[in-house]
A and B are shown apart, each in its own frame.
Chain A
Amino acid sequence: MPRVVALLVSVALVAGAFYLRARLDDAPAAAREATSVAPTERVPGPLEEEPSDPLLICAEELAAACDALEQDPDIPYRTQVQAAGDTVAALLEGDRPELWLVPAPWPEIAQILVDSAPPAQGAAQPPPAPEVSEPFARSPLVLVGFAERLSALQSVCDGSVTWSCIGERAGTPWAELGMREASGRLRPGHLDPTQSASGLLVLASAVTSYTGRADLNRNDLDTEEFADWFANLESAVPDFAPPSGSQVTEMLTRGLASYDVIGTTQAEATLRLDNAPDGPLEIQVLTPQPVTTADVVLVSFGAAGDLEEAQRSLTVPLAAALTDSGWVADPAGENMSLLEDAGLPDAGFLIALQERWEEVAR
């Protein structure tokens, strides 16, 4: 019976996704009136900036790029860095920023949740669907770990360190993984998938690694084998947020006491590691197969045409800022094929994955 319910929910989610796509494409312009938003966090920016400047919310993963935009006097936007989960929560509360810069498919996740939520009190009609750009920057999802331990893992993972293998071995004492002198247990890390945009994508990448495919649905989470693997993985993942906000920074400052291996974007790994001189512990970056990516999109919650206008003023400087912070950006779509699939499951599955993670990890 629960599986039947799950199947019905899954079908509803898929239908919702199609409905959302249709609305993204067809929603009447009149329904896309911009509404103001009250920033829920500190809004950094020059004092001379007009308070009426439209607001660009940046997911935390894109903070470096947005900080660069903030310093550019020609950019007519205020910026605010916010965890993707917080932005979704604000949208559910009825807040509507002008723009949102975030890895896909978070906009789709947000819209599914908004559409499935009861209408806000006093709202005559559901909020208009946002416009979402094509991906214009990308970063592969990678593993960052201490070289000695990755090497030991490689030996017990048939020569290749994957999330599937990490999940199987998570929590195993290092003494049993070929490092007799090491204390502690294999401690993998990823950020909270209900809050962090990349945290969710990394977790999805891990599940894809385990199942060997990306066309997943909620039922795939219900197998006994998956449940065991997932529970083993998550039981070893520390459930407290890194004090610095970055797991790579934690590895650099706290060494082996932090994590043995974590998942993140190559952009973050590059940004953090390139600025860090060699320390006593070598840190290595691996790109596990199959490759999955975080793809950045720009979302407009304003009127029709607002996205196009924003792209005109933002795309080039944003692409430059993203490139400077480790992302591979291609605003013109000429040098790379960002239209290729990111290799990750769809938004409906990711919502189900968030729910399952809540059940297992909390």
Chain B
Amino acid sequence: MRRLTGCLALLALLLAGCVRDTGVEQETAAADTEGVTVGGAGDCTVVDIAVSVEKIDLFVDLAEQFNASPDAQLDGGGCAVMEPRAQESGRVATLLSEGWPDPDVNGVAPVVWSPASSAWSGVANQRLADAGQPPIAPAGEPFMLSPLVIGMPQPMAEALGYPEEPLGWGDILTLARDAEGWGTYGHPEWGPFRLAKTNPTISTTGLSALIAQYYAATGKTEDLTTEDLARPEVDDFARGVESAVVHYGDTILTFLNNLARNDARGTALTYASAVATAEVSLINYNRGNPDGVLEPGEELVPPRVPLVAIYPEEGTLFNDNPFVVLDAEWVDDTERAAAERFGAFVQRPENQQRVLEFGYRPGNPEVPLGEPITAEFGVDPTQPQTALELPEPPVLVDALERWDVQRKGARVLITMDVSGSMGDPAGAETRETKLDLAKQAAIGALDDFSPDDEVGLRVFSTDLSPTEPTDYIDLVPIGPIAEQRDVLAQRIEQLVPTTGTPLYTATAASYSDLVDAFDPQRINAIILLSDGVNDDPRNDDLDGLLATLTEGTEGGTETPVRIFPIAYGSDADLGSLRRIAEATNAAVYDASDPGSIDRVFTAVVSNF
């Protein structure tokens, strides 16, 4: 519960950029909390729109068209400008339930909210109700739809009987529990079954997958209750599915990017066996655009092994992308009227056609399904065949709390750079050092781990110890965090900056140590925080390090250890850290603004 509360609270601090990633690199919030002013506001009424990040490009496209159209002229004079900004749905839910505090940090309070799923409206309203306050998010009209699917590399799906055999979460559970893994299906070379799914306290697809799992465990399609969740067989089902998880995280795009990179190397089938994702993301993956964002000059390269969409036979949920004009005190009548005009605009057939082009199912029935909702892109327009009811908000909250204890445990080594540069000021207007902020963030993130997790602390700098190994010290060996949280916090608090940055040596040693003590029942990972470049002349062999990491990651290894680097401060070697992350099929996090380290740490820990 403590971790869940922490997750939900810290969710509010998550960077919008953490999900609007353009690669495995997770961007920081600063840029993303600034809205996209399309066309210039002038004296027009600006309508701030909080949009779930995966559809920001579509919303910007529609806002540009609206702002330039006669529809933007308001009755009685004046004009309106729509200003969409990418914001995590879970983050907005939390901020709205808290009255949208601190706009300087969190951005302007929105007039319109289009989360990925109506579930988040329910969560926000439920939290307000719990606090004795009226709801803020009325039911919004579905803007477009995308069902949750289990994306599976086509050969693997075919091995299970796709497309003739209906498949679902029950099959996932069977695979997850099978010690022979894919060997049972004649493919031992694919290794164990590996499931990619996101953290449901942050990610909409993670939340939808969690709900779908629970429904599958109960055999129901509606009326999921807290009593259902408490049944032993349901708990067993949930734990079984979670046991196959590669790691969690804040966005499914991390997995799809890693999968694309593995596909290019011919190792896709040993990276992930299935990805719980929205249908639109699977389409984008098969188009050759795994992150859904097409950068200028970026060429679409379809994968060698496409994903196919499994529509779970037990039923699934739709991300319904409601268009919600908020019942908030900061929304005035003019803004409301302008927002409603835009709401009607996006429902028009010509704009819903754009929705379809982006890979979503239109919310307006006047636009029929067509390309890309076709078999060519791995999806089936006649599916899904069973929809699941969105549970009542109290059940959602209970599900999230239960996930916190059912999820796969983690074994994590926090490896922190304490080189001299960490003593530099964190910013021009603060006396705090980078290390001061990093310590605060690391201590805060300890609360985000589950009590069952095992966490240790290693620090590195040159000549840190008079005895071998001289470049790093284990201040707290990996152990149950429930027993050593206070010790970890205490030792972090005592850190001081020292000398150089033996980044490669410390990374290699940490990786080797975790591989040697690998725990197959857990997510084995390293959080690698560094603010500089490797400056150790004794070991500047990045290629050698990467070769070691890659060798230990590819080919269905039995001991996958993920390294999640945090590139801290403007002098951090983001490029090298990204390559380290990619070599272990993980993700790098960009905290080039030291002020963002608290939020970045939270995002990193969402992987566990």
Q: Do A and B come from one complex?
A: yes
- Measured CB to CB, the residues of A under 8 A from B are 47, 181-185, 187, 238-240, 243-244, 249, 252-258, 272, 275-281
> Which of B152-160, B310-318, B484-492 lines the interface with chain A?
B310-318
Given contacts A244-B142, A276-B368, contact A254 B318 (CB under 8 A): yes
Q: How far is the CA of A104 from the CA of B383 in the complex (A)?
A: 38
Nearest CB on A from B203, distance (A): 21
Nearest CB on A from B296, distance (A): 34
Contacting residue for A256 out of B75, B76, B361, B382, CB 8 A: B382
B385 with A184: CB separation less than 8 A: yes
Given contacts A243-B142, A276-B365, contact A255 B381 (CB under 8 A): yes
Chain B residues with CB under 8 Å of A257's CB are 147, 315-316, 318, 383-387
B166 within 8 A of A: yes
Contacting residue for A238 out of B139, B362, B382, B389, CB 8 A: B389
B369 with A256: CB separation less than 8 A: no
Chain A residues with CB under 8 Å of B318's CB are 254, 257
Given contacts A244-B142, A258-B387, contact A253 B362 (CB under 8 A): yes
A253 with B366: CB separation less than 8 A: no
B233 within 8 A of A: no
B281 within 8 A of A: no
B315 with A184: CB separation less than 8 A: yes
Q: How far is the CA of A181 from the CA of B142 in the complex (A)?
A: 30
Contacting residue for A279 out of B139, B141, B221, B369, CB 8 A: B369
Select from chain A the residue with minimum beta-carbon distance to B221: A238
- Chain B: interface secondary structure? loop
Q: How far is the CA of A240 from the CA of B317 in the complex (A)?
A: 14
B166 with A183: CB separation less than 8 A: yes
Q: How far is the CA of A243 from the CA of B141 in the complex (A)?
A: 7
A279 with B385: CB separation less than 8 A: no
B223 within 8 A of A: yes
Counting chain A CB atoms within 10 Å of each CB, the highest count among B142, B313, B322, B390 belongs to: B142
Between A and B, 14 residue pairs with Cβ closer than 8 Å are: A184-B313, A184-B315, A184-B385, A243-B118, A243-B142, A253-B362, A255-B384, A257-B147, A257-B316, A257-B318, A275-B366, A277-B366, A278-B368, A279-B369
Chain B residues with CB under 8 Å of A281's CB are 381-382
Given contacts A183-B385, A256-B382, A257-B384, contact A240 B222 (CB under 8 A): yes
Chain B residues with CB under 8 Å of A181's CB are 164
- Chain A: interface secondary structure? loop
B320 within 8 A of A: yes
B222 with A239: CB separation less than 8 A: yes
Chain B residues with CB under 8 Å of A183's CB are 166, 313, 385-386
B145 within 8 A of A: yes
Within 8 A of A (CB), among B27-45: none
A254 with B145: CB separation less than 8 A: yes
Q: How far is the CA of A185 from the CA of B141 in the complex (A)?
A: 27
Nearest CB on B from A118, distance (A): 30
The interface bits of chain B over 143-176 (1 if a CB of A lies within 8 angstroms of the residue's CB, else 0) are 0010100000000000000001010000000000
B387 with A280: CB separation less than 8 A: no
B359 within 8 A of A: no
Chain A residues with CB under 8 Å of B369's CB are 255, 279-280
Counting chain A CB atoms within 10 Å of each CB, the highest count among B75, B361, B386 belongs to: B386
Q: How far is the CA of A16 from the CA of B384 in the complex (A)?
A: 49
Chain B residues with CB under 8 Å of A275's CB are 365-366
Select from chain B the residue with minimum beta-carbon distance to A246: B365
Chain A residues with CB under 8 Å of B303's CB are none
B122 within 8 A of A: no
Nearest CB on B from A229, distance (A): 21
B365 with A256: CB separation less than 8 A: no
Counting chain B CB atoms within 10 Å of each CB, the highest count among A183, A240, A256, A277 belongs to: A183
Q: How far is the CA of A102 from the CA of B139 in the complex (A)?
A: 25
B206 within 8 A of A: no
Q: How far is the CA of A278 from the CA of B365 in the complex (A)?
A: 10
The interface bits of chain B over 354-397 (1 if a CB of A lies within 8 angstroms of the residue's CB, else 0) are 00000001111111110000000000011111110110000000
Nearest CB on A from B363, distance (A): 6
Chain B residues with CB under 8 Å of A279's CB are 368-369, 381
Given contacts A182-B385, A272-B365, A281-B382, contact A253 B142 (CB under 8 A): yes
Q: How far is the CA of A7 from the CA of B235 in the complex (A)?
A: 48
A252 with B365: CB separation less than 8 A: yes
Chain B residues with CB under 8 Å of A252's CB are 365
Q: How far is the CA of A55 from the CA of B236 in the complex (A)?
A: 57
Nearest CB on A from B283, distance (A): 15
Q: How far is the CA of A187 from the CA of B145 in the complex (A)?
A: 21
Counting chain A CB atoms within 10 Å of each CB, the highest count among B75, B76, B387 belongs to: B387
Nearest CB on B from A46, distance (A): 10
Q: How far is the CA of A240 from the CA of B316 in the complex (A)?
A: 15
Given contacts A184-B315, A239-B223, A243-B320, contact A254 B362 (CB under 8 A): no
Nearest CB on A from B335, distance (A): 16
Nearest CB on A from B597, distance (A): 40
Select from chain A the residue with minimum beta-carbon distance to B367: A277
Given contacts A255-B382, A257-B147, contact A277 B387 (CB under 8 A): no
Q: How far is the CA of A231 from the CA of B425 in the complex (A)?
A: 71
Select from chain A the residue with minimum beta-carbon distance to B390: A240
Select from chain B the residue with minimum beta-carbon distance to A236: B221
Known: A184-B386, A252-B365, A257-B385. 20 other contacts (CB 8 A): A183-B166, A183-B385, A184-B315, A185-B386, A187-B386, A238-B222, A238-B389, A243-B118, A243-B322, A244-B142, A249-B365, A253-B145, A253-B362, A254-B318, A255-B384, A256-B382, A257-B383, A257-B386, A277-B368, A281-B382
Chain A residues with CB under 8 Å of B223's CB are 239
Contacting residue for B381 out of A184, A185, A272, A280, CB 8 A: A280
**Chain A to chain B: the 9 pairs with minimum beta-carbon distance, closest first:** A252-B365, A257-B387, A280-B381, A279-B368, A184-B386, A183-B313, A256-B385, A184-B385, A257-B384
Nearest CB on B from A339, distance (A): 36
Chain A residues with CB under 8 Å of B145's CB are 253-254
Select from chain B the residue with minimum beta-carbon distance to A249: B365
Q: How far is the CA of A277 from the CA of B369 in the complex (A)?
A: 9
Q: How far is the CA of A94 from the CA of B381 in the complex (A)?
A: 49
Contacting residue for B363 out of A185, A238, A253, A255, CB 8 A: A253
Nearest CB on A from B415, distance (A): 46
Nearest CB on B from A232, distance (A): 16
A243 with B139: CB separation less than 8 A: yes
Chain A residues with CB under 8 Å of B141's CB are 243-244
Q: How far is the CA of A272 from the CA of B381 in the complex (A)?
A: 20
Nearest CB on B from A120, distance (A): 27
Q: How far is the CA of A280 from the CA of B383 in the complex (A)?
A: 10
Counting chain B CB atoms within 10 Å of each CB, the highest count among A240, A249, A257 belongs to: A257
Chain B residues with CB under 8 Å of A238's CB are 221-222, 389
A256 with B142: CB separation less than 8 A: no
Select from chain B the residue with minimum beta-carbon distance to A252: B365
Select from chain B the residue with minimum beta-carbon distance to A182: B385
